[in-house]
Structures are given as structure tokens and as C-alpha cells.
Amino acid sequence: MLNDWSYVAIFTVISMFLPAAAIAIASFLAPKKPNPIKNSIYECGVETVGATWVQFKVQYYIYTLVFLLFDVEIIFLYPWAVAYNQLPLFAVVEVIIFILILLGGLLYAWRKGALEWV
Amino acid sequence: MSVEKPVVSLADLCSRYEGLLVPDERQGFEGYLISPDHLISFCRSLRDDVGYDYLSSVTGVDNFPAEQMEVVYHFYRTTGGPSFNLKLQVSRHNPVVPSLVPLYPGADFQEREAWDLLGIRFEGHPDLRRIMMWEGFEGFPLRKDWREPFFEDEAKPFKSRWPDGQVIRSEDQNPYKNNVRYPNDFDPEQWTPVGDDALYKGMLNLSQNIQSEFKTDQIVVNLGPQHPSTHGVFRMVVVLEGETVLSLKPVMGYLHRNHEKIGERNTFLQNMPFTDRLDYISSMSNNFGYALAVEKLMGIRPPERAEYIRVMMAELTRFLNHIFSIGFLLNDLGAFFTPALYAIEERELILDVFEAVSGSRMMCNYFRFGGVARDLPDGVLEKIKELVNDRLPRKLEEFERYLTKNDLVRIRCEGVGVLSPEEAIALSAAGPILRASGVPYDVRRADPYSIYDRFDFDVAYGLHGDIYDRYLVRVEEMRQSLRILKQVVRDIPEGPIMSGKPQYQARVPPGEAYGRVEGPKGELGFYVVSNGKPNPWRYHVRAPSFINLTSLATMAKNQKIADVVAILGSIDIVLGEVDR
Amino acid sequence: MDGAMILEWVIKSIFLILVMTGGFAYVTLYERKVLARIQVRIGPNRAGPFGVLQPVADGIKLIFKEELVPAKADKLIFTLAPVLTVIPALIITAVVPWGTEVTLFGRTIKLYLADINIAVLYLMAVTSISIYGIALAGWSSNNKYATLGGLRATAQMISYELALGFAMIVPVMMAGSMSLVDIVESQKPVWFVFVQPLAFLIYFIAALAEINRSPFDMPEAEQELTAGYHTEYSGMKFALFFMAEYIKMIAISMIGSSLFLGGYRGPFVDQLPALGPLYLFIKVAIVLFVIIWIRATLPRIRYDRLMQFGWKVLFPLALLNVFVTGVVLILVGG
């Protein structure tokens, strides 16, 4: 008997065929007449100046860092949520304290201005 | 607004410059002539001491074949009153004039335009580049001795194209290149487009002094010309850090067709339909301004009924334009076409009226010198009454209910793109932009034309000068337009609609006139110079969209890139008028 | 036995993929029709009766479109990005049940692909992956609008994912299981949306942000970034992004229906399990309608406000909601 994960695996493999087939079919059927103008980068009809791949504003990355912290913590909460009904009161109180610590972390990031878009 | 009492009167100032300031005594001309050396000091006194704080129009006149070029300025007071005309006469060979940009920043684009099209060099202008034509263009197309590639004749009406049964095409008479001028050492075979080096120069690295713990690169992004939200082929070069705009330069001229040159080839009457093509959303207002200018020259006034019809059409146009612009402002804020389409529904009803009276929905060509082209057909007045008394107020209220208190609209609009009253005046902003900044300046009140002095209406104005106030001003102006319209449809008399008999050729005596109306987008001025011939010698349009764009860079600085689009939408430009 | 089983799952997988792609095609038509009616227009009505062949016509057109690849782009990633965007959109639907069991050709067929015991976690994981395609598409195009759009998309999606995660914990707590089948079954007495309207609201808002739909469609904000991360894409690759977006819309509606709106449950579904997919279909259609309605109505939120809203309003609210739910469950459950 296959377990349910195998079905997901089968599905994933099959679903890879769809975009691959689409791109393959289109590459057979679609015309290909490239020229330098067509292949230039679109910037509203004028030539682009300066590099695109530059050092971007750091704010995008700060969000990522904060996200990483909280995302990991969400994962901790899931097992607790599943077993919620069977848990002793102590464990529940523990997790509630954990959530409060999370809130504290959020407030800290807030105070530090990490959530400000500047 | 700083309402400081003028320290000296205009007459005092003129007497102080006795001898340097000469009244223009040519037949039909007005204003004063001054020499370039004294322009700056005189204008500073004019602005600071006499209170002429608003530079409405800067343009030039080529007096070919005389070796002389004229620069014409029109100044106004934002407290109201007639204009002060100032002229400079310089040599045509190398016309150099001091720039007024340090005193009146609103002269920026207008001086660039005069340089571009007439070759008048403005000494001290911070960025004197071509504005309509491209870098590397040879010659100055508004000069009288400049000829277009398929030049046919100096002025219309052209000679018969089939004089002896054989059709002559101007292309045959004037094969391409006969009139094309190339810069020296130009080889078409070797030509590669000159990049925008001059444009980009000074844009990058202009804010190295910004303090930051992290090194971030700035990028230059072009928004436009092929962009979904620039309302046409308009381009903004934006320097971004992250998503914040550090500086912005507008680039225009992609739709340039040398409207003024064509206008000078046309006869006076032929220009009437041509003005429709300026701001094609509100053609009736364009007709109005041009008709006023030429009527001033001819010294005639239309009969009563025609005046009422004119005001009626102008106010319907204002309503139409504002509702359209609010709809598309919402589009620029990211609403997916629903407000715009609701607005278009109302616009269509007004266009029905225009079609009924003029035969055309957008290019109305309805005004004539001394009246209007046709009387109102039967039933149209009833239709207009129904619109202004019932439908339009109801729909306007509906619009307000959806938008005015909408949180998302307020969040996006309040405090964004702020223009202070001082900046707005200095940058020669006009119309809703100026009024939203808290300067209640409306040509209909400040310098009444036609029969606007009879009607009871308020000048709408805002206090904060942000996008939201511009929106509110537009809504309030629509309401005031309806108020005027209600009085018009109540009072409109019977009678003739043309003074004198209709004529194909307007006889315009020599002279100059500046006719201005409060168009929906701002002060729309027509500067017309006649030399008594059937064609205008000079035909200049003070396009409100164009001059309002002068303030775009100021408004957009340090805003987010998403707001730039909204700010542009709040200026409400039409590229037909910007580029001309 | 195993061979037959595998065949059954393969057929089910292919069937699901076909349903999702067909659904994608007709959601585009649905959206255009609904938008048109809201905007006093008619909408597509030329291809076939009521325009029903419009998606087919669009598809054929896109297949025969020339595909342009910018010379300066990173070509491998540029081609891979649309594929990477579509796959997560498809496989996220694997764990959503459409019904219980029906008997067909003498076989008992389960109306879901997989009933894995940590389905909600799986949903979270797949949503995270789907960011990659978009971020890579924006980056590899070497286009300024696309890069900005890709960065925006990344920052936006991760910000709202937290709120989404917390909103999805609530049904898990109520049902005591992470399996979507169990969650749906435990809504037999009452749908969770009536018990937890706030969690549903947070889920819905965060999901809109997650799939970049209006009013959170910043990454492809037409008004400033032309088309955002897929500016440089054309032809079939563009169609794949489009497809991913619409399949995500359907997936989000399906998941939302399962978590909060009782999924396939409805009157008489216990007696007649074949009704299950129908109920789910109706619920999905209603949720989709709301999504389209929002698009037709609201202007876009500015980017910085959007991030602020996500971090300073939605996330703390979701956190507090979990907290309150925990406390209330203790008090009620004793």
C-alpha cells in the first residue's frame, strides 16, 4: 500500500509535465524571428541606462530576516495546535507564554524600526 | 498665501524706469519694451514691490524679415486684475536674453520651448535643452525662414493643386530633403541616435550626501514614453533609491507637431478646428480661448444668446473634463477601470449634447469669431436642463459618496505631492493645481471674460495642496459648474447667435491680443499677433497641461514611485496639449 | 493491486490537473464577465455563445506567439521561472478534499488525492516555495520594472505568510488535526467561519496578498511598473505566469472553503457523497466572485502602507487571535 505522500509525489511529477509540455509545444509552434531590437530590454521604449543588478535597498532584506524568525516559530506552534485537546493545562500555558514572547519580539522589531519602510 | 500690499504702484515703478521702459506704441500693441540689461532688476521689483507674482506666459515673436526677435512676457497678480505685458527686442542673429527662471521658476519649460523653437538663448537658465524637438535637431522651426520638408507655401489658402486638370502633389514639387536641414558634418549613413546623455547628466549620484549605514545603489528608471499610466507618450526619468524618488525629469515632445507653425500657416478661421486638437478632452474650452483672443483683436463681442451658449458649453466641458480626470486618477491609484468607466458614462451624455449642437463629439469646432456656429437644435436645451438639474448632480453626489470618504483613496492621496502656495505661484501652476494649494485664483473671477461676472458661483480652493485637495477642488468645481449651468439654462435669451454676417475670412486688424480662459486644466491662453493679413503672424498657445508639468519634479521629490503616477494623474495632463 | 492503485492515482492526478487548467481558463472568462458587468460593459461575447470559447481562442493565440528572451537576461533561470511558478500552484491542491468517497465502476474511489496528516503544514511549505518562481523571474529578466516587481513580491509574500500561517493555526486548533479531511469533517456541526470570523478574515486578506491580487497587486502594479515581474515575458511563458496566478486563486478559494466554509460539506452530502464536489464548486465560485469584486472596486494600497498593514496590523492581530482562541478553548473545554 502506498502511503499518501507517494500520491503527492506522483502528482508533483505529473504536474511538472504540464508547464514543460506547454513550453515545448510553444517552442515548436511559435515563430522565432529574433532581432536585436526585439531582444533588448523593455524600458518603455528607451534604452536602459545603468545596471539593473545593483545593490538594492537593504529594507527588503530586513523584512526577510524578521520573517525567518517568526516563520520558524509558527512551525513550533503547529504540533501544539494539533495536540491542543489532549495537552495538560501546563503545556497550554507554556505555549501561551511562548506566544507572548513572540509578541514581545514583534514589539522589539517594531520599536527598532525594522518594520518601517523608509 | 502671502497677500502683501504692493509697496509701490505700477505707475511708480514705470516712472522709476523712465527712459529704460518704453511703451509699445505700435498700432494695436500694448505693454512696455525694456532692454535685456534691466530685465532682471525690473522684474524683481515688479514681483516684490508691485505684486505681479504670476508669470503666465513667455514666448517669442520672429519679426522676420526685420532683423529682430521679440520676447513677450505676460505677468499677472494672483489677487486679480489685468495683465502686464513686457517685451524685449533682441537681434535675430544671436538672440540672448537673461533667464527669468531664478525669479519665476515657472518660466523653466516656457523658456526652453522658446529656445527650442525660436532659438532665443536664455542666459542663466539652469537646463537649457531642447524640449519638443530632439537633441541634434538643426534649426529653429518656429522661425519664419524655417521650412518644413514638404513645404508648399508660406500661408494658406494654398494655390490650386490641379490648376490644369493635373493633380500636383506637394511632395513632387518639393522632393524630400530639399528643405531638410542637417547639422554640419552630418552623415545620414553613419548616424546613430545621440543618447540622452545630456538628459541623464547630473541625475545620477546627485544625492551622495544622503546618510545611510548601508551602501545602496541608485537606479535610473524611465517611466514612459510607452507606459500604461503616463496618459500618452510622456516620459519621466526617475532616479530611485529603493522605491523613493530622488529626482525626476519630465521629457516630452513625442507628440509634437508644431501646432503653432501650422497655426501660423492657417487662416484665422482655420485655426478654430485646429484648437480642438490641443486638449482633445475639452475642445469647447479651447475654442473659447482662441475666439476671445481674436475677438479682442477684431474688437467685436458676440450677441447675448451666443455668450450664454458659450458659457454653457464651457461649463459642460469643465464638468466632463473633471469627472473624466477623477475617474482616471482612480485608475492611476490602481482601481481597475471601474471609476473611470462610471465617469465615462456621464461624459457620454454630455458628448451627446456636443454632438447635437456641433455635429461632433470631441472635435467640436463650435465657436466662431463673434458667436457660435449654429443655434441650439430643438430639444437640446431641454436635454441640458434635465442633465444639469437632475442627472449630473445626482451622479456627482454618487461619485462623492463612493470616493470622498473612501479610506484607501484618502490614504493614497492625503499629504502626497504637496505643493505649497508659494511654490504653486512661483511655478506658474494653474487651474485646480494652483487652487488646491490655497490660492483662490480663477480667471473667471480674477479677470472676468465673456459674461462670467453675471453668474453667482464660488471659486473652489483647497488648503493642503496635496492630491486629495486637488480631487476635492475638482469635485467642488463640478458643483459650481452645475450652479452656473442652472443659471444659464434659466436665463438664456432668444436672439441671434452671430454678430455681423457670417464670413469665411475673418478680417483681423494688425495688433496683438492675449485671450485667456479658465480652462478645466487651468489658464488657457492664446497669444495672437496679426499683421492685417488673413493668417496670424504669431499664434502661441499657453497650454496649462504643459506649464503645470513644471511643478511635477517639485511635487514628486522624495515621494514613492507609486505616488509619482498618482501625482501625474492629479495634474491631469493631455498630451495633445503638452506637446502641441 | 499496486499497479491498479497507481493507475488510479495517475488518472486522478491527470484529472485534477485538467480540472485546474480548465478551471484556470474559465476563471479568466468568469473574471472578465463579472468585471464587465460591474463596469457597465458586456465583456467578451464574440467567440462562441456568451464568449465561452474566448479562453480557447486566447490559448491558441498565446501558443502561436513569438517568445522573446532579452539578450541580457539569465536565460536558464528566465525559462525555469515560469515552470517553478506553476508547479507549486498546482501541487498545493493535492491535499484539498473534494468529497468523501464515491463508488465508480465497482471501485471505491476517494475524492481526494492525498490525505496527509500534516496537510496544513504542507500548504504552508508549498506557499513558501511559490515565491521562488516570481523572485527569480523578476531577477533574471534584467529589467528594472521586473526586478522591482520581483523584490516587492518577495517582501510582500513573506510578510503576509506569517499572518496566513497564524490564521491557519486556528482551524487546526479547533479540529485537533492538520489533515484537511479531518478539518472539513469536524465542521459538521458548524462552519468555522461562524466561530472564527476574524481568523477567516485574516486568512482571506493574507491570501489575497499571497497571490498578489487586488488591492495587493503591487508586484505587477501596472500603473508604475508596467507589468512587474513578468514584464519581459511573452507567449507561452507569460501564459504560464497567468495560469499560475489564476490557479492560485482557485487553490486559495478551495483551501479557504475547506478550512472555514465547511469544504465539501452541505445538505445531504452524507447520503449522497457525489454532491461534495458540487458544494465545493459553488463555494469556490462564490469566493472567486468576492475576489473579482474586490478587484473591480478597490484602488491599490501603496507599497509601504501594505507592508505596514501586514506587519503592524494583520500579524499582531493573527497572533492575538491564536492567543485568545487558546484561552477560550481552555475555558470552554475545561
Prediction pTM value: 0.84
Task: Inspect the interface and report whether the beta carbons of B334 and C144 lie closer than 8 Å.
Answer: no
| A116–chain B Cβ distance below 8 A for any pair | no
CB < 8 Å from A in window 236-275 of C: 236-237, 239-240
pLDDT digits (tens, 9 = 90+) for A23-45: 888 888 888 888 887 888 777 77
Q: What is the pLDDT of residue B2?
A: 47
Contact list, A50 vs chain B (CB under 8 Å): 204, 219-220
Chains that touch A (3 or more CB pairs under 8 A): B, C
Handedness of CA B381, B387, B390, B393 (dihedral sign): negative
| Residue of B326, B338, B471 for testing the chain C interface, max C β-carbons within 10 Å | B338
**Cα separation of B360 and B414, whole Å?**
38
Contact list, B244 vs chain A (CB under 8 Å): 118
| C294–chain B Cβ distance below 8 A for any pair | no
Per-residue pLDDT for C138 more than 50?
A: yes
Task: Inspect the interface and report whether the beta carbons of C319 and A103 lie closer than 8 Å.
Answer: yes
Instruction: Please report, for chain C, the start and end positions of each structural domain, with discontinuous segments joined by +.
Output: 2-48+56-333
Task: Inspect the interface and report whether the beta carbons of B242 and A57 lie closer than 8 Å.
Answer: yes
**Cα separation of B30 and B478, whole Å?**
36
Task: Inspect the interface and report whether the beta carbons of B560 and C38 lie closer than 8 Å.
Answer: no
Q: In the predicted model, what is the mean pLDDT of residues C148-158?
A: 81
pLDDT digits (tens, 9 = 90+) for C30-43: 988 998 888 888 88
- Interface A:C, Cβ pairs < 8 A: 220
| B331–chain C Cβ distance below 8 A for any pair | yes
C-alpha cell at C232: 519581459
Q: What is the pLDDT of residue C289?
A: 92
Distance from the A49 Cα atom to the nearest Cα atom in chain B, whole angstroms: 7
Q: What is the pLDDT of residue C286?
A: 92
Phi, then psi, of B518 in degrees rounded to 5: -85, 90
Contact list, B219 vs chain C (CB under 8 Å): 144
The CATH H-level superfamily of A4-111 is NADH:ubiquinone/plastoquinone oxidoreductase, chain 3 (1.20.58.1610)
pLDDT in tens, chain B (580 residues): 445 555 677 777 777 777 778 888 888 888 888 888 888 888 888 888 888 888 888 988 888 888 888 889 988 888 878 888 888 888 888 888 888 888 888 888 889 899 988 888 888 888 888 888 887 777 888 888 888 877 777 888 887 888 888 887 777 777 666 777 777 777 767 766 666 666 776 665 554 444 455 556 778 888 878 887 778 788 888 888 777 888 888 888 888 888 998 888 888 888 889 898 888 888 899 999 999 999 888 888 888 889 899 999 999 999 999 999 988 888 888 788 888 888 888 899 999 999 999 888 888 888 888 888 888 888 888 898 888 888 889 988 888 888 888 888 888 888 888 888 888 888 888 889 999 988 888 888 888 888 888 888 888 888 888 899 999 999 999 999 999 998 998 888 888 888 877 777 778 888 888 888 888 988 898 999 988 888 888 899 998 989 898 888 888 888 888 888 888 888 888 888 888 8
| Residue of B135, B207, B226 for testing the chain A interface, max A β-carbons within 10 Å | B226
Instruction: Please choose, from the candidates B234, B133, B223, B222, the residue with its C-alpha nearest in 3D space to the C-alpha of residue B573.
Output: B234
In angstroms, the Cα distances linking B521 to B195, B573, C180 are 33, 8, 58
Q: How confident is the model at residue C223 (pLDDT cuts 50, 70, 90)?
A: low
Task: Inspect the interface and report whether the beta carbons of A83 and C176 lie closer than 8 Å.
Answer: yes
Phi, then psi, of B371 in degrees rounded to 5: 155, -155
- The answer to whether the beta carbons of residues C257 and C276 sit under 8 Å apart is no
Instruction: Please report, for chain A, the start and end positions of each structural domain, with discontinuous segments joined by +.
Output: 4-111
| B228–chain C Cβ distance below 8 A for any pair | yes
Per-residue pLDDT for C61 more than 80?
A: yes
**Cα separation of C123 and C125, whole Å?**
5
**Cα separation of C99 and C274, whole Å?**
7
Phi, then psi, of A39 in degrees rounded to 5: -85, 5
- Predicted complex: ipTM over 0.85: no
| Residue of B221, B227, B230, B251 for testing the chain A interface, max A β-carbons within 10 Å | B221
Contact list, C299 vs chain B (CB under 8 Å): 330, 333-335, 406, 408-409, 412
Q: Which domains does chain B have, with CATH numbers?
A: 10-123 (3.30.460.80), 145-157+167-182 (no CATH), 259-579 (1.10.645.10)
Q: What is C129-172 written as a DSSP string? A: HHHHHHHHHHHHTT-HHHHHHHHHHHHHHHHHHHHHHHHHHHHH
- The answer to whether the beta carbons of residues C231 and C69 sit under 8 Å apart is no
Q: What is the pLDDT of residue C170?
A: 85
Task: Inspect the interface and report whether the beta carbons of B222 and A44 lie closer than 8 Å.
Answer: yes
Task: Inspect the interface and report whether the beta carbons of C236 and A53 lie closer than 8 Å.
Answer: no
| Residue of C231, C232, C302 for testing the chain B interface, max B β-carbons within 10 Å | C302
Give SS3 for B524.
strand
- The answer to whether the beta carbons of residues B142 and B261 sit under 8 Å apart is yes
Question: Which of C141, C240, C303 minimises the CB distance to A22?
Answer: C240
Residue of higher predicted confidence among C199 and A118: C199
Task: Inspect the interface and report whether the beta carbons of B216 and A49 lie closer than 8 Å.
Answer: no
Which residue type sits at B162? W
* Burial class of B130 by CB neighbour count within 10 A (0 to 12, 13 to 18, 19+): middle
- The answer to whether the beta carbons of residues B419 and B433 sit under 8 Å apart is yes
Residue of higher predicted confidence among A85 and B282: B282
| A13–chain B Cβ distance below 8 A for any pair | no
Question: Beta partners for B560?
Answer: B244
Per-residue pLDDT for C106 more than 80?
A: no
- The answer to whether the beta carbons of residues B266 and B365 sit under 8 Å apart is no
- The answer to whether the beta carbons of residues B544 and B550 sit under 8 Å apart is no
Mean pLDDT score of chain C:
83
Q: What is the pLDDT of residue C222?
A: 65
